[in-house]
Amino acid sequence: MRLLQAIPVLAGLAAAQTVPTGVTVPEISFAGTGCTAATRVGAAVTNPTLIAVPQTVYTARSGVNGTRLVDTRLNCQVLVKVNHPAGWQMSVAKADYYGRVRLPQNSEAVSKTTYYYSGQTRNVSTQYYFDGPFDGAYFRNDRFLTTASNKLWGPCGSQTMLNVNSEVRVGPLGSGISREGYMDMYNLLHDRIIVDWRKC
Ligand SMILES: *[C@@H]1O[C@H](CO)[C@@H](O)[C@H](O)[C@H]1NC(C)=O
Ligand SMILES: *[C@@H]1O[C@H](CO)[C@@H](O)[C@H](O)[C@H]1NC(C)=O
């Protein structure tokens, strides 16, 4: 009974305007060792909470040099320019990635993404470690909830430059010697990042 009483309060909150209108993505650019440098026009925005980001797939592959596994690191930095009405700010809420890893014994891989906004010094990042032996698909679910301490809001203005820098690294574990391994990264699930909006 007490739980039911809370429902009208939540419904009242949901009725407030929670997203701006007229959001556009004039430009998305890519740069890094894992992707070809390119600038594209963003897709039309029909729902301001869904920002379409074309996926870039790249593979870090370690190799054997003599008897030692050589560490390989690749990254792709995606800069998403978002125009929106003044008085709003945005924040990444969710991004899901998937990839494949094949790691022999004595090797490790790291899949990491750092999110930040141009003009601000803070960033938030997530990273996942895999220790060999491992062979299979993996999913990464980055979640930055409104109540979470790692929630990072963009500037309060009419343009937000969202930077999403993803990297993969494959290398030997400690001083281990092993066969080669690889990791695929930056397969953005559904080609989109989900963002939150608030008035500022
Ligand atoms: C292989 O190792 C040798 C000796 O440590 C080094 O000079 C060379 O640059 C390495 N090659 C690669 C591709 O890492
Ligand atoms: C993110 O912040 C950390 C420290 O808070 C810093 O060391 C790192 O270089 C920053 N990364 C980027 C991509 O700005």
From CA 28, how far away is CA 39, in angstroms rounded?
Answer: 6
Closest CA to 77 of 118, 108, 45, 47: 118
Closest CA to 109 of 172, 44, 42, 196: 172
With the most atoms of ligand 1 within 8 angstroms of its CB, the residue from 64, 65, 68, 72 to mutate is 65
With the most atoms of ligand 2 within 8 angstroms of its CB, the residue from 76, 79, 114 to mutate is 114
User: 156 CA to middle of ligand 2, Å?
Assistant: 21
User: 34 CA to middle of ligand 1, Å?
Assistant: 21
Given a cut of 50, the residues of the chain with pLDDT beneath it are: 1-15
Q: What is the pLDDT of residue 178?
A: 54
* Cα angle 9, 50, 59; round to 5: 130
User: 65 CA to middle of ligand 1, Å?
Assistant: 6
Burial of 173 (0-12, 13-18, 19+ CB in 10 A): middle
pTM of the predicted protein model: 0.83
From CA 161, how far away is CA 177, in angstroms rounded?
Answer: 42
List domains and CATH numbers for the chain.
Answer: 24-199 (2.60.120)
Q: What is the pLDDT of residue 16?
A: 58
User: 119 CA to middle of ligand 2, Å?
Assistant: 13
Q: Which atom of ligand 2 is closest in space to residue 165's alpha carbon?
A: 13
Per-residue pLDDT tens for 142-187? 999 887 778 999 999 999 999 999 988 888 776 655 567 777 766 7
The count of other CB atoms within 10 Å of the CB of residue 23 is: 21
Q: Which atom of ligand 2 is closest in space to residue 123's alpha carbon?
A: 1
Question: For residues 83 and 23, is the Cβ–Cβ distance under 8 A?
Answer: yes
Separation in Å, CA 89 to CA 72, 115, 183 = 37, 15, 35
Q: Which atom of ligand 2 is closest in space to residue 116's alpha carbon?
A: 14
Query: Residue 194 contacts by C-beta under 8 Å, 6 or more apart in sequence?
Result: 49, 50, 51, 92, 93, 94, 95
Q: What is the pLDDT of residue 179?
A: 62
Please give all residues whose beta carbon lies within 6 A of any atom in ligand 2, as ranges. Answer: 114, 116, 123, 165
Query: Residue 65 contacts by C-beta under 8 Å, 6 or more apart in sequence?
Result: none
Please give all residues whose beta carbon lies within 6 A of any atom in ligand 1, as ranges. Answer: 65, 70
Q: Which atom of ligand 1 is closest in space to residue 65's alpha carbon?
A: 1
Closest residue (by CA) to atom 7 of ligand 1? 65
